Amino acid sequence: MKKLTRLQRILISAILVVTLIGSLMLALRQNTMTNIGYSAWTYIKYGLIDYPITSLSNMISDVSNLWHVYDDNVYLNEQLATQRSYETMYQDERNKNRELEKLLNLQGGMEEALRVNCSVLSRPVQNWNQSVTLSAGKNQDIEENMLVTSSEGAVGLIEHVETTTSQVRLLTSPELRNDIAIQIALDDGTNVEGILQSYD
């Protein structure tokens, strides 16, 4: 068997030393290399799989929540509209009750007068302060020049009478034909009587 030359022995020894040192270094760094590889796979998996799936799931959840919020908003708007309607009806009924209470107090001072309860059927837009049409006429013994009152006091005179309706000339009308006797209550408790001739 042929002996190795000195150069061959040096090369073999160097290769063995390098292999031994490389194995030792690889053994020492195996944990770090494993972590680097795992981190790279984790980033790839997150970027290509996990993130898109999570984003899609969040988008679907957001759209679902937005739809529920829209439904709740529609329901709350309906409830608010209903509440406003009830509030308006309540205000109307309360105003009617106050009006009726004032009319009861007013009737106590006009025992001999003809009392006919009626409502306003129409009031012209262009002549708002001149006349109204009431839902009472000859069938209720209404006659011309009768005084018409509300809960606040006198409002006008009967000007024209039909079977079931009558036309009232308001005190605020510049065309009021008859002067009206009035009584004004002062702050000190006394009253002043006078004649209403016109209203400005």
User: Which CATH number goes with the domain that contains 180?
Assistant: 2.40.10.340
Residue 16 belongs to some domain of the structure: no
Structure tokens at 31: 């944990």
pTM over 0.85: no
Cite the beta strand spans of the chain per DSSP E: 120-122, 131-134, 147-150, 153-161, 166-170, 180-185, 191-196
pLDDT of residue 113: 72
Residue 75 is predicted with a pLDDT of 86
Q: Above 70 in pLDDT, residue 64?
A: yes
Which residues lie across from 157 on neighbouring strands? Answer: 147, 169
In a domain, 34, yes or no: no
Cβ count near 11 (within 10 Å): 12
Please report the pLDDT score of residue 48 as a whole number: 66
Let me know: does 173 contact 159? Beta carbons within 8 Å. Answer: no
Domain that holds residue 172: 115-196
Q: Which amino acid is at 131?
A: S
Give the number of domains in the chain. 2
Q: What is the mean pLDDT of residues 180-191?
A: 83
Q: How far apart are CA 101 and CA 138, in angstroms?
A: 27
pLDDT, position 161: 92
pLDDT digits (tens, 9 = 90+) for 3-58: 667 777 888 888 887 776 766 565 555 555 455 555 656 666 666 677 778 878 88
pLDDT in the model for residue 58: 82
Identify the residue with better confidence: 152 or 91.
Answer: 91
Does any domain span residue 30? no
Picking from 113, 129, 159, the residue at the C-terminal end of a domain is 113
CA gap 148, 130 in Å, rounded: 14
Residues 77 and 129 in one domain: no
Q: Is residue 6 part of a domain?
A: no
Same domain, 104 and 125: no
Q: Rg for the chain (alpha carbons), in Å?
A: 50
- In contact, 116 and 140? CB cutoff 8 Å: yes
Q: Rounded to an integer, what distance in angstroms lies between the CA atom of residue 137 and that of residue 143?
A: 8
Average pLDDT rounded to a whole number, residues 175-198: 80
Last residue within a domain, chosen from 98, 113, 128: 113
